[in-house]
Amino acid sequence: MKILGVDPGTLITGFGIIQYEKNKLTYITSGIIKPPPRTSMGIRLKIIYDDLFSLIKTFEPDEFAIETAFYGKNIQSTMKIGYARGISILAAVQNNINTAEYSPRSIKQAVVGKGAASKKQVQFMITRLLALGNGDKTFDETDALAVAVCHAFKANESKSAGQSWKTFVDNNPDLIVR
């Protein structure tokens, strides 16, 4: 399953694409979409939409995952993130891709094991999980990759739900410590 993860923002939108097969995570690509800062909101949103649409056409992901908005101290910032989320989801839906949303806390919990993890901790774990080497990815990229990894883990959990321990062990011999 190929997953496109998105960390939405109107100034910088991070994206990351991974492959998840047989409990193995493989990095495909990541980057940021950074519209010119002095452009109007409508133009910034169009740039984000067009770039995500193009990424979807190029890489043909099977699944799309995005971080939910959280309410901070500035309601205007929260609303702007909502705009970026909306057009990001629209790009996925217009390409008939299943979408999922995850809270920042659940993403951090899935990737780091702690819902209150810092961006630096998320970046460290993503760099290790995806074997990214020197860790030269921005926080926006590693956050987007974390969304994709979270989705992979959640999809695996739901696929495993109801399985017996024997079935789990048979399907995951690499996870058994002897």
Structural domain range at position 52 = 2-175
Choose among 90, 68, 84, 79: nearest CA to 35. Answer: 84
Least confident of 72-81, 146-155, 156-165: 156-165
Pick the catalytic residue from 7, 51, 141, 143. Answer: 7
Q: What is the mean pLDDT of the chain?
A: 90
> Is residue 151 pLDDT above 90, yes or no?
yes
Write the CB contacts of 111 (distance below 8 Å, at least 6 apart in sequence).
Answer: 117, 122, 125, 126, 129, 146, 149, 150
What does the pLDDT average to over 40-59?
98
**pLDDT tier for residue 91 given thresholds of 50, 70 and 90:** very high
Number of domains in the chain: 1
Q: What is the pLDDT of residue 66?
A: 98
Pick the catalytic residue from 51, 140, 141, 143. Answer: 140
Least confident of 5-19, 73-87, 159-173: 159-173
140 an active-site residue?
yes
> Is residue 71 pLDDT above 90, yes or no?
no
> Is residue 177 pLDDT above 70, yes or no?
no
Q: What is the pLDDT of residue 158?
A: 58
Q: What is the pLDDT of residue 74?
A: 79
Q: How far apart are CA 101 and CA 124, in angstroms?
A: 23
- The pTM for the full model equals 0.86
Choose among 33, 52, 13, 16: nearest CA to 129. Answer: 16
Kindly report the CATH number assigned to the domain that includes residue 163.
3.30.420.10
Pick the catalytic residue from 21, 50, 51, 67. Answer: 67
